[in-house]
Amino acid sequence: MDFIIGDLVTRRSHKHDIIFRIGSIEGETAILHGEDLRLEADAPLSDLEKVADREIERYLETEKEQVDYSFRLFRQDYQLMKEKRNYEASDGYQKQSYFQLPARVLHLDGDRNYLKKCIDLYQRIGLQVHGLHILEADMPAEIAGLIKRIQPDLLVITGHDAYSEKRGSKKDLKAYRHSKYFVEAVREARRVESNLDQLVIFAGACQSHFQSIIRAGANFASSPSRVNIHALDPVYITAKLAYTSFMDKVTVSDVLRNTLTGEKGLGGIETRGFLRTGMPYLTEE
């Protein structure tokens, strides 16, 4: 069977458990990227099977249901936060007009397709984001200059990753495809801004070395249980922080409530929100 870059495939040896997109082909080996999971793998072309059109339709429908369900949970959460802001801005007894200062988001993604999906969700949620496609290995060298130029409040560093038993134990950073690059990128970011509340960082992908990323200075990271995480989970974490008042702290359970992966794949430390409210709101003349 002939394969080309971009084909959706599954692996026979893994009982067709995950749908992958072929990222590149090197001889008789394909480099695979999870279609909705931030997982990178390689497999012989002989092990691959193309996904039938009807299976793709079924997958897209299921994926849309999951994303829509998570989005509805976020909207409910957002509505509660909005009602609280309205009450506090009006001292609880009269309606006042006010304005909000939005958080600045910088999102670096090692996968161009994932970045597009994330930006679409940021826009749906109502957040402005500066998104850049940068390969994981290049992130440590690029990150400092980008932070100085864009001055983000929230920084997302993600892409693909995977743990391999053949390379070492789960404690060995060398056993992961890209975790070392996420760790180095976070360290470089912290050299620019060390305050955990001035620059909030999410970093990691599927099966990433959670402990090392947190020790490097990330507020939130993946993956505590070395499981796969959904491509859109970093957006929901970012949105929760962006729409929470800077007067309030956000617990890890608060952040994970609307994600598609949950606590096995995501974790972190309690962190302050970023939303600032002012008044009065003046319309342009």
CATH of the domain at 131: 3.40.50.2300
Q: How does pLDDT run across 129-155, given as a tens digit for each residue?
A: 999 999 999 999 999 999 999 999 999
Phi, then psi, of 181 in degrees rounded to 5: -70, -40
Whether 121 and 253 map to the same domain: the answer is yes
**How many domains is the chain partitioned into structurally?**
2
48: β partners: 11
Gyration radius of the chain's alpha carbons:
20
Asked whether the beta carbons of 273 and 236 are under 8 A apart, the reply is no
Q: 109: which residues sit within 8 A by CB, 6+ positions away?
A: 115, 118, 131, 132, 133, 134, 156, 158, 159
Whether 187 and 257 map to the same domain: the answer is yes
DSSP reduced 3-state for 56: helix
What percentage of the chain exceeds 90 in pLDDT?
51
Residue 16 lies in a domain: yes
Whether 14 and 128 map to the same domain: the answer is no
pLDDT of residue 263: 86
Asked whether the beta carbons of 9 and 52 are under 8 A apart, the reply is no
Whether 182 and 119 map to the same domain: the answer is yes
DSSP reduced 3-state for 240: helix
Angle between helices 233-242 and 112-125 (to 10 degrees): 30
Q: Pull the structure tokens for residue 95.
A: 């309606």
Whether 15 and 143 map to the same domain: the answer is no
pLDDT of residue 157: 97
Whether 228 and 124 map to the same domain: the answer is yes
Whether 161 and 26 map to the same domain: the answer is no
pLDDT of residue 90: 58
Please name which of 94, 6, 14 lies closest in space to residue 50, comparing C-alpha atoms.
Answer: 6
pLDDT of residue 193: 97
Whether 146 and 235 map to the same domain: the answer is yes
pTM (2 d.p.): 0.83
Residue 118 lies in a domain: yes
Helical (H) or strand (E) element with 179:
helix 179-192
Residue 123 lies in a domain: yes
Asked whether the beta carbons of 152 and 104 are under 8 A apart, the reply is yes
pLDDT of the chain, 285 residues: tens digit per residue: 689 998 999 999 988 888 898 989 988 999 998 887 888 888 999 999 998 888 878 877 877 787 787 778 777 777 777 776 666 655 554 556 777 787 999 999 999 988 998 998 899 888 889 999 999 999 999 999 999 999 999 999 999 999 998 899 999 999 999 999 999 999 999 999 999 999 999 999 999 999 999 999 999 999 999 998 888 889 989 999 998 888 889 899 888 887 888 888 999 999 999 988 777 666 665
Residue 242 lies in a domain: yes
Helical (H) or strand (E) element with 218:
none
Residue 108 lies in a domain: yes
- Report d(CA 73, CA 143) in Å as an integer: 32
Buried b (16+ CB within 10 A) or exposed e, 137-154: eebbeebeebbeeeebbb
Whether 129 and 239 map to the same domain: the answer is yes
pLDDT of residue 69: 76
DSSP reduced 3-state for 163: strand
Whether 144 and 227 map to the same domain: the answer is yes
Query: Helices (H), strands (E): how many in the chain?
Result: 7, 15
Q: Pull the structure tokens for residue 277.
A: 């409210």
Whether 46 and 105 map to the same domain: the answer is no
Residue 136 lies in a domain: yes
- Report d(CA 114, CA 59) in Å as an integer: 16
Q: How does pLDDT run across 23-50, given as a tens digit for each residue?
A: 899 889 999 988 878 888 889 999 999 9
Residue 89 lies in a domain: no
pLDDT of residue 86: 65
Whether 129 and 230 map to the same domain: the answer is yes
The domain containing residue 190 runs over which residues?
100-278
Residue 269 lies in a domain: yes
pLDDT of residue 92: 54
